[in-house]
């Protein structure tokens, strides 16, 4: 009898491990990520203090899935963009946030549902209240340390900072990315544009160190 219960215990543990492994396989998504803010994330103290109370309330986030499934649905090759606007600088976690999600038009119905669920589940705090979800063609080009993202009414063009200056002078980084990133770097925003007029007034930024990029996993 004792041997029987020992075998049953081992069986339960093994079944539980298989279930956890299966769940992890069904909810493991990886890829490239880039984010642009309406305030410099790498700057001198005076520059930071001049912006923190007047701007930095808006951001665009873009995901490019390179591999993985969510709830058993393969999301490889899909892209998404989130446009976020807050009542205060995005460094204030208590500020009210609202967001618009742009989902990849090439996704099937099941893929769109799974991608939306993955983004909402893993980034609820960053997104706040989602007031609009729409589909559109999304281009996401990542070559070396250059990111180009384009869609109707939203565009991002980001390059690496020369000589990884942000890593050699980390005390000048004033914010954290809106999501957890692997190999996080600060990027130079060549140009960023939002013209949707859904979550905020239209805005455009260029020529500043206002971006983060790296790899995401959820």
* pLDDT above 60 for 24: no
pLDDT at 84: 98
> What is the rounded distance in angstroms from the CA atom of residue 161 to the CA atom of residue 150?
21
Distances (CA, A) of 139 to 11, 148, 149, 176: 48, 8, 5, 25
* pLDDT above 80 for 50: yes
pLDDT at 163: 84
Alpha helices by DSSP H, 56-214: 109-122, 124-127, 165-168
pLDDT classification of 128: cutoffs 50, 70, 90: very high
pLDDT at 117: 97
Residue pair 79/104 in contact by the 8 Å Cβ criterion: yes
Residue 69's φ and ψ, nearest 5 degrees, are -125, 155
Tens digit of pLDDT for each residue in 166-195? 888 999 999 999 999 999 999 999 999 999
> Chain-wide mean pLDDT for the chain?
89
Least-confidence region, from 18-22, 137-141, 148-152, 156-160: 18-22
pLDDT classification of 165: cutoffs 50, 70, 90: confident
pLDDT at 8: 38
Cα 124–chain centre separation: 11
pLDDT at 26: 57
> What is the rounded distance in angstroms from the CA atom of residue 165 to the CA atom of residue 126?
27
Alpha helices by DSSP H, the chain: 2-26, 45-52, 109-122, 124-127, 165-168
| Strand extents, DSSP E, the chain | 27-37, 58-70, 73-74, 79-86, 97-104, 129-136, 139-143, 146-151, 154-160, 182-194, 203-205, 208-217
pLDDT at 6: 45
Global confidence as pTM: 0.87
Q: Which two tokens stand for residue 67?
A: 């591999």
For the chain, which domains are there?
26-217 (2.40.400)
Q: What is the mean pLDDT of residues 130-155?
A: 96
pLDDT classification of 28: cutoffs 50, 70, 90: confident
């Amino acid at each position: 009898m004792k041997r029987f219960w020992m075998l049953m215990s081992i069986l339960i543990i093994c079944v539980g491990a298989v279930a956890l492994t299966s769940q992890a396989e069904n909810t493991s998504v990886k890829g490239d990520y880039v984010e642009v803010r309406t305030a410099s994330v790498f700057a001198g103290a005076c520059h930071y203090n001049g912006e923190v109370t007047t701007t930095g309330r808006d951001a665009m986030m873009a995901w490019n899935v390179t591999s993985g499934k969510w709830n058993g649905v393969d999301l490889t090759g899909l892209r998404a963009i989130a446009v976020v606007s807050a009542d205060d600088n995005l460094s204030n976690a208590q500020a009210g946030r609202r967001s618009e999600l742009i989902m990849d038009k090439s996704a099937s119905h099941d893929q769109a549902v799974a991608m939306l669920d993955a983004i909402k589940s893993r980034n609820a705090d960053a997104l706040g209240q989602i007031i609009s979800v729409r589909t559109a063609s999304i281009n996401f080009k990542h070559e070396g340390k250059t990111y180009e993202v384009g869609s109707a009414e939203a565009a991002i063009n980001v390059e690496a900072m020369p000589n990884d200056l942000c890593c050699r002078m980390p005390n000048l980084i004033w914010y954290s990315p809106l999501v957890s990133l692997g190999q996080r770097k600060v990027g130079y925003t060549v140009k960023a544009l939002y013209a949707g007029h859904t979550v905020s007034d239209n805005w455009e930024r260029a020529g500043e160190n206002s971006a983060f990029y790296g790899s995401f996993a959820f």
